[in-house]
Structure 1
Amino acid sequence: MIKTVYSFRKNIKDRAFAQTSYLLISTVLGIILGVISTSLLTRVLGKEQYGNYALIFNIFSFCQIIFSFGVFHSISRLVAITNDPKKVRGYYLAGCFLVLLLFVIMSIALIFYAYFSKSIAKSNLTGILLISIPLSWVYLLTNLNESFLQGDNKINLLSMSRFLPKVYFTLTLAIVYFCSLRADLISMILINYFTFILAYAYIFIKTKPTKSNFKRRLLEIFSATKRFGFDIYFGALVASGSGSLSGILISQFGVNNIEVGYYTLATFLSSPLTLVPNIIATVQFKSFSKSNKISRNLTLTMLGISLSLFIAIVLSAKFVILLVFGKDFINAIDILKYLSIGYVLYGIGDYYNRFLLAKGKGKELRNASFYVGITLLIANVAFIKLFGGQGAAIARIVSGLMYTFVILYYYKRETNT
């Protein structure tokens, strides 16, 4: 009997290790593809149009946060605590339905923004933004897939949902660049959309959603959103929303969108620092919901990998940017170094955030996100006015310190440690 229990526990640990390794490897490959695709994209569009592309991307990323209303956090939690496969598949179909409803609301808001935004008018991007709206539901579907697959511990599918769009986009960009095909800003935006649609069609088929008890699944999601999902959303709206505003504020205070491109490029290269803690916590999410605290060894592993990656990024920043993106983007180097510090702090905060989310601590996460968001918003406005893109990176460090401090406080209070 003891041997059987030991064998079972060993298999669970081995499975978690395999899932972590799989997700980490696919993420690393995704980053490599992302570097290649971004390099090709900057060459196809040039730094000015790439800046415009980055601004459009920042706008939709901001909307991705605003128009979730806590629904996807609720689905993640509901899926994590159920062992009924049919019920899980029902939550996915209900989630897809809610994606469409939220998309309608988001589209109306974006149409108003396209016509009345000074930064959009200044950049002559009104028409491009309007053309981009009809397929922008993929951003909300990304939210659903990330939350649902994490909650259901479908790590292989989660890896595929992140990896496949990068594969398709990189291959398409390579064809465009090396065959010297004509491509403008809107064609690149639409191509990016279709790579996500193709990948997510595969995820939809593999998930096998069911309409059984559809109304009941919807009501359960609404109930969970009311209990804790909206609390998490409100906090994320302030915290993550303030972060997504960085690129928009750089455009607002700047002469053009070139520096938005620098900042977005630096964000892309430094964001892997948040991925390692997130990957580890994502694999452990379902077990977090049943654990009293996070194991010390797991935390030490996360910190060791994160700090090693931070050192590697800082030391190689100049070499990578000059080699891959060219001297036109040399101004992104200092922004990258500052952002790397901020993202290490955010990664640590996200790691403990996942534990609290698995425990359904919506109010605590709301409060933490509110403190962080207000800090980031104030720092963004103050520093971006003075230092542009570098100011946004400094603001990320300030808010990262706040995030780590507050989330650790709530974690220790929850675990009595």
Structure 2
Amino acid sequence: MVYNINSLLKNKIFINGMWLYILQIFNTVLPLLTLPYITRILGSSQYGVFSFSLTFVTYFQVIVEYGFNLSGSRKLALASNQEEKSRIFTRITMTKLILCVMSFIIMIVTAFLLGLDEKQLYLILILFTIVIGTAIQQVWLFQGLQVMKYITIINVLSRTLSVLLIFLLIRDSTQVYLYSALYAVTFLFNGILSATITRYKLKIQFTSFSFKDIISELKDGWHIFTTSAMSVVFSGIGVTVLGLSNSDSTIGVYSAIQKVPYIMIMMFSPVGQAIFPRISQKFSNSFDDGIKSVTRILSIILPIIGIVSFIMIIFSSSIVNLIYGKQYSAYHSLMLPLVLWFFLSILNNFLGIQSLVSSGYQKEYGIAFRISVIAIVILNILLGYNFGAYGVAYATMFSEFVLTLSLVYQLNKVKSKIRRNYSTLC
């Protein structure tokens, strides 16, 4: 037993996985620690301006990330020598920098076409630091080389410092620019340090490249990019619609309250990641074994999620008041559709990721996901413009329900296909 534990602790995959898990926790949870404080200090109006600007910039961040976290790390994992690693590093880094410049131009043009006011324009310029940091950050490289401890330590230090500075320096609602700078500079700091470690610790250097290399990298990451882009649209379209049609205060209230079920979804994420490999093994035995495994785990988790959802709805007023204060508690009824969105999101993880993806039917999952993205865009435009924050909240819930129906349809279609193949063989 002791030998097995020691072997596990020395296993490079296990160690790298633990560092990656710590990185995900700090990237997701630590910034949320400032949420109750910052929503009170800035107020719903200023927090709304910040939230819209951040969502706007996030669209361009995903363009620069493109999908290299998966396509790039895979290439590095298969690289046989230092020269090849340097060549991959050069091609992907230069592609990201080109995408960064293009994103900046598109962002400014889009901002003027949308008629964003002066404050929003200044904020997106400050928050574009996130995109620059993403362009030079090398998470994909550390992941591919299985040396995640470097980037994790950098992230932990920089995000901890950022959180401390926010608590120390942000004192009133006029400091939204400073808050944005403290929020964004973490990404730039991470990028600079990771580039330094890449050069001097890992000995990976820039090499020559061609325009054809850039095109090749864009082609390789295209499918991953489109999926990532749709996910960003799915999560950000509500705030975007509100930003173009409602007051800053409305945006701030919705953005703050929406974070509560979002945190709950993030808390489930490690559970989904932990059971995915095991369920994938069951599906490799047979489709029926996989479905039985998913059903068994779902029968345990879904009632717990149901009870948590019920409690969150019943005590929504107290929860919102406790976290954000009285300024936000008047809108506690937004929790109803958003908590139902949380419940359906967990269910859809089992129907989609744990069932379709783990059994090798990624295409069917992609079809269902694209349908839900179309639904959320249309519903947000229709309901958001007419009913404000409540319209966006219910649009989010309804689109998640559309995803549920689409996943059930795709899953039943896969089952029918497998039964037909089995009958043919018999």
TM-score bracket relative to the smaller structure: 0.7 to 0.9
TM-superposed deviation, 1:173: 1.2
Per-residue CA distance 1:86-132 (angstroms, 9 max, x = gap): 567865564433321211111001111222213x13x7423443454
Please say if residues 64 and 96 of structure 2, whose CA atoms lie closer than 8 Å, have aligned partners that are also in contact. no
TM-superposed deviation, 1:175: 0.8
Q: Distance in 2 between matches of 1:92 and 1:299?
A: 44
User: Counterpart of 1:171 in structure 2: which amino acid?
Assistant: L
Query: Does 1:49 find its partner at 2:64?
Result: no
1:256-267 residue pairs with structure 2 within 5 A? 256-267=247-258
The normalised TM-score by structure 1 is: 0.74
Q: State which of 165, 173, 177 in structure 2 corresponds to 1:186.
A: 177
Q: Distance in 2 between matches of 1:19 and 1:304?
A: 28
Identity of aligned residues (%): 16
Q: State which of 162, 168, 183 in structure 1 corresponds to 2:161.
A: 168
Runs of at least 5 residues in structure 2 that lack an aligned partner in the other structure: 285-289, 420-426
The 3-state SS of whatever aligns with 1:271 is helix
Query: Does 1:136 find its partner at 2:135?
Result: no
Per-residue CA distance 1:16-48 (angstroms, 9 max, x = gap): 999888877776677664343122222332221
Please say if residues 239 and 372 of structure 1, whose CA atoms lie closer than 8 Å, have aligned partners that are also in contact. no
1:139-158 residue pairs with structure 2 within 5 A? 139=134, 145=139
Higher relative contact order (CA 8 A, sep 6+): 1
1:3-402 residue pairs with structure 2 within 5 A? 11=8, 33-66=30-63, 68-78=65-75, 82=78, 91=88, 94-118=91-115, 120-121=116-117, 124-133=119-128, 136-139=131-134, 145=139, 163-177=156-170, 180=171, 184-204=175-195, 211=204, 223=216, 226=219, 229-254=221-246, 256-282=247-273, 292-293=283-284, 296=293, 300=297, 304=301, 307=305, 310=309, 313-314=312-313, 317-349=316-348, 352-353=352-353, 363-364=363-364, 366-402=366-402
Per-residue CA distance 1:228-263 (angstroms, 9 max, x = gap): x42343344345324312111112121x21111112
Residue 91 and residue 349 in structure 1: after superposition, are their counterparts in 2 closer, same or farther (change >3 A)?
farther
TM-superposed deviation, 1:370: 1.9
The 3-state SS of whatever aligns with 2:78 is coil
Please say if residues 23 and 279 of structure 1, whose CA atoms lie closer than 8 Å, have aligned partners that are also in contact. no
Q: Distance in 2 between matches of 1:361 and 1:91?
A: 30
TM-superposed deviation, 1:150: 6.3
Please say if residues 282 and 354 of structure 1, whose CA atoms lie closer than 8 Å, have aligned partners that are also in contact. no
Q: Distance in 1 between matches of 2:179 and 2:55?
A: 15
The 3-state SS of whatever aligns with 1:386 is helix
Q: Distance in 1 between matches of 2:179 and 2:238?
A: 23
TM-superposed deviation, 1:340: 2.7
Q: Distance in 2 between matches of 1:334 and 1:239?
A: 26
Please identify the structure whose Cα radius of gyration is greater: 2
Residue 340 and residue 287 in structure 1: after superposition, are their counterparts in 2 closer, same or farther (change >3 A)?
same
Runs of at least 5 residues in structure 1 that lack an aligned partner in the other structure: none
Q: Distance in 2 between matches of 1:85 and 1:312?
A: 55
Residue 348 and residue 399 in structure 1: after superposition, are their counterparts in 2 closer, same or farther (change >3 A)?
same
User: Counterpart of 1:100 in structure 2: which amino acid?
Assistant: L
User: Counterpart of 2:94 in structure 1: which amino acid?
Assistant: F
Match of 2:287 in 1: none
Residue 416 and residue 7 in structure 1: after superposition, are their counterparts in 2 closer, same or farther (change >3 A)?
farther
Q: Distance in 2 between matches of 1:48 and 1:22?
A: 38
How many residues align? The count is 404
Per-residue CA distance 1:347-384 (angstroms, 9 max, x = gap): 45456448877899775554333212111111111221
Residue 18 and residue 54 in structure 1: after superposition, are their counterparts in 2 closer, same or farther (change >3 A)?
same
Residue 402 and residue 138 in structure 1: after superposition, are their counterparts in 2 closer, same or farther (change >3 A)?
farther
Q: Distance in 1 between matches of 2:353 and 2:110?
A: 32
Please say if residues 62 and 228 of structure 2, whose CA atoms lie closer than 8 Å, have aligned partners that are also in contact. yes
Residue 50 and residue 279 in structure 1: after superposition, are their counterparts in 2 closer, same or farther (change >3 A)?
same
Please say if residues 58 and 248 of structure 1, whose CA atoms lie closer than 8 Å, have aligned partners that are also in contact. yes
- What is the RMSD computed on CA atoms of the aligned residues? 4.9
User: Counterpart of 2:255 in structure 1: which amino acid?
Assistant: T
Q: Distance in 2 between matches of 1:358 and 1:161?
A: 33
Q: Distance in 2 between matches of 1:375 and 1:335?
A: 20
Per-residue CA distance 1:313-341 (angstroms, 9 max, x = gap): 54554334312321111245222342232
TM-superposed deviation, 1:188: 1.5
